[in-house]
Amino acid sequence: MNAIEFRIITLQNNIFSGLFVGQNLITIQQVDSTNNFLKELLSKSEPLPEGTVIMAERQYAGRGQQQNRWHSEPGKNLTFSILLKPAFLPVSQQFDLTRAISLGVVEALQPILGDKLSIKWPNDIYYDGKKLGGMLIENILHGNNIKNSIIGIGLNINQQVFPLEVPNAVSLRQILQRDYDLKALLSDICKNIEAAYLSLRSGHFGEIRHTYLERLYRLGETKRFRANGAEFEGIIENVRPEGTLVLRRGEESLEFSTKEIEFLN
């Protein structure tokens, strides 16, 4: 992290109504990736409070899942990372954190976007079959537990045109033909993520798993998939507690982890 690479604009916050998520908000004009920045901050500074949020106006090397790049037009969208410390969560249950965070984001957007919102397994935020956002959750483990979790979230908000490499992207602006205030949205999202996280911390795993499944994109629909180089028709039936996707193909029940399967249209 180099002082020339970024400029910290704000170090305090007063529009966030939650208990801790967003109470320590650091807004940066530009950075390679808010996840990288938060990771470095964690390793270099005094203990950072849980709920610290790093928000960037521009990421010049935003990272997506599976080594992909995350594209976001500067100043138009939400690109931020949240620090959580789910020491209560065994590593074997880390997918429940993914579930809770995905639900927090969906619940924040629900009043604006309604029921066409869904979660594409494992944690993409979808609207009517298009990708509105995604997340990159990086967990730092301590023995069998999660010491720190860096929750990086990118949501397309006011961007009007997307590059050809992301033909399936959609933004709030494209859906509703109006611009949104990024800080106000961030505040709402943080509040909902905090509520979902507190529910997880209270042990409401059953409820979180159930609600995640209810929100799952293409659950119970016959659709095309590609796995091991072959295309086939299948039906998403379930997601195992540890996060594996369960598909039915004819009489067979198949299970996939994230890199093993692709959704086709």
Length of the chain: 265
Alpha-carbon gap, residue 178 to 79, rounded angstroms? 19
CB of 94 to ligand BTN, least distance (A): 16
What token pair was written down for 131?
């990708």
The only residue of 13, 24, 34, 93 in contact with ligand BTN, by rule CB under 6 A: 34
Candidate ranges 1-9, 13-21, 33-41, 160-168; the one touching ligand BTN (CB under 6 A): 33-41
In the block, tokens 């091991």 appear at 228
Amino acid identity of residue 180, one-letter, is Y
Coil, strand or helix: which one is 76?
Answer: coil
Number of residue whose CB is nearest ligand BTN: 134
| 135 makes contact with ligand BTN (CB under 6 A) | yes
Question: In terms of CB distance, is 8 or 202 closer to ligand BTN?
Answer: 8
Question: In terms of CB distance, is 42 or 235 closer to ligand BTN?
Answer: 42
| 81 makes contact with ligand BTN (CB under 6 A) | yes
The only residue of 51, 86, 104, 152 in contact with ligand BTN, by rule CB under 6 A: 152
In the region spanning residues 52 to 71, those forming contacts with ligand BTN, defined by CB under 6 A, are 59, 62-65, 68, 70
CA nearest neighbour of 153 among 184, 186, 177: 186
Return phi, psi of residue 172, to 5°: -60, -40
Question: In terms of CB distance, is 53 or 200 closer to ligand BTN?
Answer: 53
Alpha-carbon gap, residue 123 to 97, rounded angstroms? 11
| 124 makes contact with ligand BTN (CB under 6 A) | yes
In the block, tokens 């997880």 appear at 200
Q: Let me know the angle formed at the C-alpha of 76 by 102 and 154, rounded to the nearest 5 degrees.
A: 20
Where along the sequence are the contacts to ligand BTN (CB under 6 A)? 33-35, 59, 62-65, 68, 70, 79-81, 124, 134-136, 152-154
